[in-house]
Structure 1
């Protein structure tokens, strides 16, 4: 059976939804997750560590954010309302509202409008 570590001390909106019952998810005590967020399996939302010391600051996830499977969101950052974090992205910097953030390290590749239409401004793969 799978497990998760979603802290009861975290601030999680009642309308936030963990797919697959939060299988494999880790959410730090100080994390904030806004209204109507959808969080896939195996997502980590936590603080950064440096030289074996946890800095304790955690992400603030805005409203209506979708977080893909295996994404890692770390540190004192803000994920803007209605943004999309792609599967397996590693995000350590702020993400503006309506942005689409993918890759390792996470980078903005496009934006969506209020009608859930997407405009991709670059691809996540490098061109060789």
Structure 2
């Protein structure tokens, strides 16, 4: 019985197939004609390696991964980019937002159920330093 490809391995097979297609596209461009021979050789070696992998592993999962190669798209994103639903914000700007939230909501606050305060939760979730050290009252009450 041949080993099954897990999802990560299937993704690697897909990326390898896409890499082969990229080498072919580069080799076809006049701008890269000096590298054409090496690109085509690299493509040939990669195809040979991919064929060898196909003989070693489970045929069904390998075929599935190869079919997905044509239906997949790679998006390049720097590792420092925020994930979906996130933004990148500079610390001084975040601290200014904290200050505004405390000034507008926490100054003169008389809320008794401070543990249910959405502003307090937000300040704590965004690592706002406490305005006062206390365990019996809101840390941000002014």
- TM-score category of the 2 structures, normalised to the smaller one: under 0.3
Higher RCO (CA < 8 A, seq sep 6+) = 2
Which of the pair is proportionally richer in strand? 1
Which of the pair is proportionally richer in helix? 2
Q: TM-score normalised to the size of structure 1?
A: 0.18
Higher-Rg structure is 2
